[in-house]
């Protein structure tokens, strides 16, 4: 138990100190609006998405993430609008981000479009220090709990895409917000949580191997000041427009397996499992992520072959 608490504290303090606050997703390729507002509306139909992620199962206080979003094209398809609600819990912290996304697309060629996106968001941060176990008995920071600390933010992104490929560049939060800077007792100790800039670069391409099989490699790169470069590379195969199976590798962190099923024209369900490749693998049994996507069609926008991103 003490070992688990020490590990959790290390992860939490690293997060608070170096700004690795953004929630982590293995199946980012299905949840692009969470990191890039320019994705809003580009699926050319109303899309409703819900995801649950349980990270590092067996490690007390490990991250648990829930994300719900909806987005749709407007004004004939050149514009898109979306709403996203994300809750991320880790140890004593509970953070909720509510974002409104807007995009505008222009046609750059017969095949490609360029989408510009902006995002306005509010963040609510709670930290209950009473949930921590202190190695020194006389240490307690309960009087410094953070309750619904409110902070606004803005973000922006670009998304260049066709029916078979995409490249995205985004910064979901452009303001480096200090969530709190509170004097703690007579020891003149300050505790700071700062939302640093996260730069995302995503790309993917869909290859039609034959009439029944599609292959899509994709990559996500995240750069944050004070944190190691994060690179996620994945490869998915889709069979008969129904079944998806794939694998992913998070550089120096984890390997993952992914499956998906297009149950109906509207419903798609996906699941992934991450296995740590770091020393944390000795203290947890992996990470689970499941999502549901529901899309509303009408007689004008129904398509035979669904877009694979």
Q: What tens digit of pLDDT does each residue of 176-232 get?
A: 876 555 544 444 444 556 677 899 999 999 999 999 999 999 999 999 887 889 999
Domains and CATH numbers, the chain: 18-132+143-296 (2.40.160.60)
Identify whether the C-beta of residue 74 lies closer than 8 Å to the C-beta of residue 44. no
Q: What is the pLDDT of residues 12-41, one digit of tens each?
A: 544 444 334 688 899 999 999 999 999 999
Residue 182 has a pLDDT of: 52
| Range of weakest confidence among 61-65, 120-124, 183-187 | 183-187
Residues of the chain with pLDDT > 90: what percent? 64
What is the rounded distance in angstroms from the CA atom of residue 197 to the CA atom of residue 22?
A: 10
Q: Give the model confidence (pLDDT) of 242-253 as tens digits.
A: 999 999 999 989
229: phi > 0 → left, psi -120 to 50 → alpha, else beta; which? beta
Query: How far is it, in rounded angstroms, from Cα 270 to Cα 267?
Result: 10
What pLDDT score does 22 carry? Answer: 80
Rounded average pLDDT over 257-281: 95
Q: How far apart are CA 88 and CA 97, in angstroms?
A: 9
Rounded to whole angstroms, the Cα distance separating 17 from 136 reads 21
Half-sphere exposure of 194 (CA within 13 A, CB side): 13
What is the C-alpha separation between 121 and 56, in angstroms, rounded? Answer: 28
Q: Count the alpha carbons within 13 Å of 240 in the hemisphere toward its beta carbon.
A: 5
Q: How confident is the model at residue 301 (pLDDT cuts 50, 70, 90)?
A: low
Query: What is the C-alpha separation between 309 and 302, in angstroms, rounded?
Result: 16
């Amino acid at each position: 138990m003490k070992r688990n608490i020490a590990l959790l504290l290390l992860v939490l303090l690293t997060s608070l100190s170096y700004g690795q606050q953004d929630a982590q997703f293995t199946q980012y390729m299905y949840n692009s609006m969470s990191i890039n507002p320019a994705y809003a509306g580009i699926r050319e139909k109303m899309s409703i998405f819900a995801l649950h992620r349980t990270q590092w199962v067996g490690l007390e206080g490990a991250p648990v993430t829930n994300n719900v979003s909806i987005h749709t094209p407007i004004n004939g398809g050149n514009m898109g609008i979306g709403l996203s609600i994300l809750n991320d819990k880790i140890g004593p912290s509970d953070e909720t981000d509510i974002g409104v996304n807007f995009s505008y697309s222009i046609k750059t060629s017969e095949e490609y479009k360029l989408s510009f996106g902006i995002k306005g968001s509010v963040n609510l941060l709670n930290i209950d220090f009473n949930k921590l176990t202190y190695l020194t008995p006389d240490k307690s920071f309960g009087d410094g709990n953070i309750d619904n600390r409110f902070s606004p933010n803005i973000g922006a992104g670009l998304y260049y895409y066709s029916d078979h490929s995409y490249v995205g560049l985004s910064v979901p939060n452009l303001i480096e917000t200090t969530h709190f800077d509170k004097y703690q007792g007579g020891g003149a100790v300050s505790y700071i949580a700062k939302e640093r800039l996260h730069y995302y670069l995503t790309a993917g391409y869909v290859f039609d191997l034959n009439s029944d099989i599609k292959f899509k490699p994709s990559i996500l790169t995240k750069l944050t000041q004070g944190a190691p470069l994060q690179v996620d590379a994945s490869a998915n195969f889709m069979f008969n427009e129904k079944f998806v199976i794939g694998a992913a590798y998070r550089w120096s962190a984890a390997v993952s397996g992914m499956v998906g099923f297009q149950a109906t024209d509207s419903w798609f369900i996906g699941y992934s499992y991450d296995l740590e490749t770091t020393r944390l693998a000795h203290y947890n049994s992996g990470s689970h992520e499941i999502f549901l996507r529901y899309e509303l069609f009408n007689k004008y926008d129904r398509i035979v072959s669904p877009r694979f991103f």
